[in-house]
Structures are given as C-alpha cells and as structure tokens.
C-alpha cells in the first residue's frame, strides 16, 4: 500500500511490494500514512518516539519503491529504447548499471533497461527476509543501513530521469502534483536521516531547493 497513491486502476511497472497486515511494520506504515495525511511532511518523516530507525527506514523504502513503481508505470510507453537510449538525467548526468553480483562492471544501457534492472534488483532485496526482515524478533543485518542508502540513491535516479526526460508527458497526463508530492516526501525523508550523499542529488538540486524552501513547516 502506498501512502500517496491508490485505487484499482493504478498502473505499476513491477508488482507492488505489500507489507503484511498484522506486522509491526504494517502498523508503522499506517501511522506514517496518517501523519502524512495531516500535510506536514517534516513531521511525517520524523522517527516516532520509541521506534526502531531500521524499521522506519525499511517501511519507507518499500513505500518509495511502490510510489516510483507507479509513477514510472504511467510513462513507460514514452520511455523507450529509441527515445531514451541512455539512462540520463539531463545532458550532464548519465548512469551505468551494475549490481555487484551478476553485473560487476558497470554497463551502459537504455533508460527502460536500466530501470527494469534497478526495480528488479530492489524488488529482490525487499522480498529477502534476511535483508528486509518483516517479522518481529528477526534482527536487521549489520549492513542494512548501507543497503538502504544504495537503494534510495538508485531510486532517486528514476525521479531524476522522469523530471529531466519525461516531465512534459507527466504534465499532459495530469500526474504533476503526484510526482511533486512523492518526490518532496522522498527528499524530506532522505534529508532527515542523511541517506543520500549531497553530490548524488545534483541533477535535481534546483528543484530540491525550490520544493523544500517553499515548505511552510521548515
């Protein structure tokens, strides 16, 4: 379940990751959704008192995966091998794919291929109970935070590609408000816990400054 998007007609690029009802993470997700609904994003991303930071981050990684999954799902027909032959965020930034396992040396590929690799890679990690435990009593691995940072860094690149290469199409589809709200939520979260290096955000620095600077709760 996504905090921001829902409905039976919502298109997704990959199958959505569901957080199981009855788990503590499901309760955390509902709590975060309720706070988000109040409209104060800075309050919504803050770690609730007494809660575990790793669990809070895990719940949000799942949610951002689902949000980006849905946003990209709306523009997949425009992001093709021909129109987006490289995975780029404007003329200055190009991304090559490597996962460290099956693809150890970064490869140049089209945006749809890169995003397919990326979302499959994230999905595999979210489904792995050793990496993203959902049951009470199963500890998070020592490298959880490092893994979460890598996932969020790469998910940011999908936002960057959509904004730089497909924003006109997003506007035509009437999805601009959804995209902006989702991205603002994402940025407030990663800034709150210093989860993405400053230089990685450079492709959307101007937009980030505008979105966060205009927030009345800042």
Say if residue 60 carries a ligand binding annotation.
no
What is d(CA 38, CA 46) in angstroms, rounded to the nearest whole number? 14
Residue 77, CA distances (Å) to 120, 161, 175 in order: 19, 14, 15
Say if residue 84 carries a ligand binding annotation.
yes
**Nearest CA to 59 among 147, 158, 134, 159?**
134
What is d(CA 127, CA 121) in angstroms, rounded to the nearest whole number? 10
What is d(CA 159, CA 188) in angstroms, rounded to the nearest whole number? 14
Say if residue 166 carries a ligand binding annotation.
yes
Annotated binding residues, written as ranges, equal 79, 84, 161, 166
Annotated binding residues for Zn(2+), written as ranges, equal 79, 84, 161, 166
């Amino acid at each position: 379940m996504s905090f921001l998007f829902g409905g039976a007609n919502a298109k997704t690029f990959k199958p959505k990751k569901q957080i199981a009802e009855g788990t503590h993470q499901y309760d955390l997700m509902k709590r975060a959704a309720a706070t988000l609904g109040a409209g104060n994003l800075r309050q919504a991303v803050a770690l609730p008192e007494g809660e575990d930071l790793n669990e809070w981050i895990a719940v949000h990684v799942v949610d951002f995966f689902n949000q980006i999954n849905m946003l990209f799902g709306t523009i997949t027909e425009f992001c093709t091998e021909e129109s987006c032959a490289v995975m780029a965020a404007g003329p200055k930034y190009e991304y090559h794919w490597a996962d460290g396992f099956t693809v150890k040396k970064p490869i140049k590929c089209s945006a749809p291929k890169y995003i397919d690799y990326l979302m499959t890679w994230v999905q595999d990690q979210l489904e792995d109970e050793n990496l993203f435990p959902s049951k009470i009593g199963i500890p998070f691995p020592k490298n959880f935070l490092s893994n979460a940072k890598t996932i969020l860094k790469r998910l940011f690149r999908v936002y960057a590609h959509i904004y730089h290469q497909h924003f006109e199409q997003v506007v035509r589809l009437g999805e601009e408000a959804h995209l902006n709200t989702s991205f603002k939520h994402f940025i407030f979260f990663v800034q709150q816990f210093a989860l993405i290096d400053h230089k990685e955000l450079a492709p959307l620095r101007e937009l980030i400054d505008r979105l966060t600077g205009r927030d009345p709760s800042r």
